[in-house]
Structure 1
Amino acid sequence: MAIPGITFNGVHSSTLPIVMLDSRRPLFAQPKDTYVDIPFRSGSVLVFDPSFNDIEVEVDFLIKTPANSTVYKEARRIAQWLTTHETRRPLVFDDDPTFTYQAKVSNSIDLERVVEWGTFTVVFRCLPHTQEV
């Protein structure tokens, strides 16, 4: 069985020298409700808002540096894959292929290097509702 990965911006992670180690995906988006505390009153007042916040999906990767390359050279290739500039792009996980997130990388990515290996975490900011394929 192949190691699960992701497809982002039309490119599968297996085309790069990386392995997905783990991911953290919320089950649903957080409502934008507001809770107001009133002095001398127990509890709070709920101000209902029918909209939702964006979802943040975190994905941990390992860079497997080929013999004829360096961690930093491969990291720059990966950065090009993850850069989308003005718009969100489709994000699909191999282990849940029926759902598509509309995502954009929202963090600066710090590379932790150990000899010829590197690890990094990508945070994707996604629209609050996935699209079922």
Structure 2
Amino acid sequence: MLKGMTFNGIRKSHIYLLEGRQKASFAPISRNITSTRKGHRLKDSKHELLPISQPIGYIASNDVDALEIKDELAEWLITKDVAPLQFDDEPGRTYWAVVQNSIDDLSRLAFTRQGTIQFLCFYTTGATKSINVTTTSTNHTITGQTKTPWTIEVNFTADTNRFEFWAGDIYLQLNYNFKAGEKLIVNYTGRKVTLNGNDLRKAVSMSSNFEELTPGIVSVRASHAAKLIYDERYY
């Protein structure tokens, strides 16, 4: 059975993967090193974008059919922002990428067309994890290889004038008169805070500390039962 890929939530059954994918095991690292007469010092490090080259093939019965498929590929692959890329032979991994340049070495062999798509991956995610947080401090293992954004969901079952959340270096305090039945969502990305879908960023205390989740064992608790959601991130 021919393997395919899904990009931006769309799968094209007539586009299949060919052998020859080029992708490093992890994103390249740029090292900032300062040198003196006494030696060398690593100042900082930065993970660069991960290039992915994927050969593809498709069948076109004639030139008109081939042109239509090329137009279809352009509509599918050209996006304004990074989009999820998933390969059938790498289950559980999602590469958040954009297409770089065009489809290289597009050629014809009888009724088969083939070429190579060049992707640039900004980051890689694995499984989505959900942790039930209680008012008692509990240790949980944050999986993945590198820091990751998170989301907190709270369904209030009683009235309260404050919500607090702790997870490692993360501390969140919201001062507001929450009512039973209301739903609070706090998203690390963009520092978004909504209550029943309405913006509630004004309730965030200045003492709050927004940090990404760090892989490893983390002690987690909240002033009200909540759910902590995150995606595993990989180099």
TM-score bracket, shorter-length normalisation: 0.7 to 0.9
Q: Over the residues paired in the alignment, what is the CA RMSD in angstroms?
A: 2.4
Distance, in Å, in 2 between the alignment partners of 1:132 and 1:112 is 34
Residues 30 and 53 of structure 1 are in contact (CA less than 8 Å); yes or no, is this contact kept in structure 2?
A: yes
Does residue 20 in structure 1 map to residue 17 in structure 2? yes
Distance change >3 Å, CA 63–CA 36, structure 1 → 2: farther
Of 48, 52, 67 in structure 2, the residue corresponding to residue 53 of structure 1 is: 48
Aligned 8 A contact 1:33 1:46 in 2:
no
Change (3 A) 1:64 1:47: same
Sequence identity of aligned pairs in percent?
29
In the alignment, the residues of structure 1 paired with residue 3 and residue 44 of structure 2 have an alpha-carbon distance, to the nearest angstrom, of: 37
Query: CA 1:35–1:50 in 2, change beyond 3 Å: closer, same or farther?
Result: closer
Matched, 1:62 2:60: no
SS in 2 for 1:32: strand
Contact 2:28 2:47 survives alignment (8 Å) = yes
Count, aligned residues = 124
Q: Which of residues 101, 105, 110 is equivalent to 2:99?
A: 105
Distance 1:72 1:116 in 2: 13
Q: Which runs of 5+ in 1 are unaligned?
A: none
Residue 76 of structure 2 corresponds to residue 81 of structure 1: yes
More RCO (CA 8 Å, sep 6+): 1
Q: Which runs of 4+ in 1 moved over 3 A?
A: 34-38, 44-48, 66-69
Deviation at 1:113, TM superposition (A): 2.2
- Work out whether 1:3 is the aligned partner of 2:2: yes
Preserved contact between residue 71 and residue 117 of structure 1 (Cα < 8 Å): no
Q: Which has the larger radius of gyration?
A: 2
Report the alpha carbon displacement of residue 34 of structure 1 after superposing the two structures with TM. 3.6
Query: 1:70·1:116 contact (CA, 8 Å) conserved in 2?
Result: no
Letter matched to residue 82 of structure 1: L
